[in-house]
Amino acid sequence: MTLDSDASSAVAWLHRLFTIDRADVRMVAAVHGIEVQQPLSLSNRVSLLPLAAAPDSPNLRMLARRYQGYPWSMIDVASAMLPVIAIFDLGSCMASSDWDADKMVHDSAYAAILDAVRAFTLTDSGAPVVGNSWTDFVDPTLTIAEFGRVWMVARFEGSPSQAPPVKVDTEAIAWAERYFQMSGSLRRSIDVALDRLNLARRRRTPGDQAIDSGICLEALLGDESPQELAYKLRLRAALLLGTTLDERKKIRQVVRDLYELRSKVVHGRARWPTDAVSDAQCAARGLEICTQALRAIVRRNEQPDFAAWELMGGPLDAPDAG
């Protein structure tokens, strides 16, 4: 403070610091795999901003230097490399020594950011992940009083997607808002499937994609009984997504092929160079079925009664695979 102002101003700042017992705080996270052109706010209280538009702080400048070098400048940086900044305002927080209460508030904010990022997996090829995160005082003069920088490192599995980031447009936001509008229990029930689809899209080999796609379908279409699981997944995917007998046959075959590839990889059967093209096509079709099934359930906003569907030959209402 004395370097940025005179001695008397620094002393006044220090006296003010000792009198503060409440301050506005926000959680901030770097998000990889999406692109926004301007700040936007989602209904779950998470805001997404381009890196250049994010509120300045020592932590943000430290993150930016990884992409831009020092000093901090936005010139000559490929925008596709830059993370998007997610912010969750925690509001006015009182100084506390209750570690458990503080952790609950922190975890709740982090979960909201995870949900916001997870929701964009419902786009055609989205596989965004949450990178490093931290908390900031809204008042930058309070951040100066912190000793050092404290980060929470990225906790996602695998590596970020090598594909171009998904542009957060009107359609992407619409899918995210559908996800937020689902009941909490239903949303939590499909999170495993969403996370596995996200991971499958970031996998490098068709075999690994097939493994994660299989887990996605099991989480989405399976039940507590492991009997005839592969058969049930083929049937339920066909009933959920197909509107004609021919469509259902094709969907059933895609899921069958996906599980055959998954089984070959899990049981260690060698894959030859001549299998590369067919394996890649099989995995791509499986990923598409996972995407359609997740979207269909999100659109319905309810968990289908698959056991009843099997008896009736499909849902009473018309399937929606959009």
Residue 4 lies in a domain: no
Residue 90 and residue 160 in one domain: yes
Give the list of residues 6+ apart from residue 271 with CB closer than 8 angstroms, or none: 207, 264, 265, 279
Residue 10 lies in a domain: no
Residue 53 and residue 127 in one domain: yes
Residue 30 and residue 165 in one domain: yes
| pLDDT given for residue 77 in this prediction | 40
Give residue 121's pLDDT band: very low, low, confident or very high (50, 70, 90): very high
**Residue bearing tokens 């007998």:** 245
Residue 101 lies in a domain: yes
Q: Of the candidates 181, 201, 227, which is a domain's last residue?
A: 181
Residue 89 and residue 32 in one domain: yes
50: pLDDT strictly greater than 70: yes
Quote the CA–CA distance of 106 and 93 in Å, as a whole number: 11
Range of the domain at 244: 184-312
Residue 210 and residue 143 in one domain: no
Q: Is 175 within 8 Å of 123 (Cβ atoms)? A: yes
198: pLDDT strictly greater than 80: yes
| pLDDT given for residue 171 in this prediction | 96
Q: Provide the 10 A C-beta neighbour count for residue 134.
A: 19
Of 147, 146, 141, 142, give the one whose Cα is nearest residue 5.
Answer: 141
Residue 31 and residue 138 in one domain: yes
Specify the long-range contacts of residues 63-69, CB closer than 8 Å, at least 24 apart.
Answer: 63/30, 63/132
Crossing angle between the packed helical segments 276-300 and 170-181, to the nearest 10 degrees: 60
Q: Provide the 10 A C-beta neighbour count for residue 247.
A: 14
Q: Of the candidates 181, 207, 233, which is a domain's last residue?
A: 181
Quote the CA–CA distance of 132 and 115 in Å, as a whole number: 16
Q: 216 vs 79, which has greater pLDDT?
A: 216
Residue 301 lies in a domain: yes
CA dihedral 239, 243, 246, 248 (to 10 degrees): -20
Residue 151 and residue 188 in one domain: no
| pLDDT given for residue 284 in this prediction | 96
Residue 6 lies in a domain: no
Residue 168 and residue 101 in one domain: yes
Q: Is 180 within 8 Å of 43 (Cβ atoms)? A: yes
| pLDDT given for residue 257 in this prediction | 96
| pLDDT given for residue 71 in this prediction | 47
Of 168, 145, 139, give the one whose Cα is nearest residue 55.
Answer: 139
Residue 7 lies in a domain: no
Residue 131 and residue 34 in one domain: yes
Alpha-carbon distances of 60 from 83, 85, 145, 208, 227, rounded to whole Å: 11, 9, 16, 35, 51
pTM: 0.87
Residue 37 and residue 177 in one domain: yes
Quote the CA–CA distance of 227 and 311 in Å, as a whole number: 17
Residue 253 and residue 290 in one domain: yes
Q: Of the candidates 181, 214, 233, which is a domain's last residue?
A: 181
| pLDDT given for residue 130 in this prediction | 96
Number of domains in the chain: 2
Proportion of the chain above pLDDT 90, given as a percent = 61
Quote the CA–CA distance of 125 and 284 in Å, as a whole number: 11
Residue 318 lies in a domain: no
Q: Provide the 10 A C-beta neighbour count for residue 155.
A: 12
What is the chain's mean pLDDT, rounded?
Answer: 88
Residue 202 lies in a domain: yes
Residue 29 and residue 172 in one domain: yes
Quote the CA–CA distance of 158 and 199 in Å, as a whole number: 7
Q: 80 vs 237, which has greater pLDDT?
A: 237
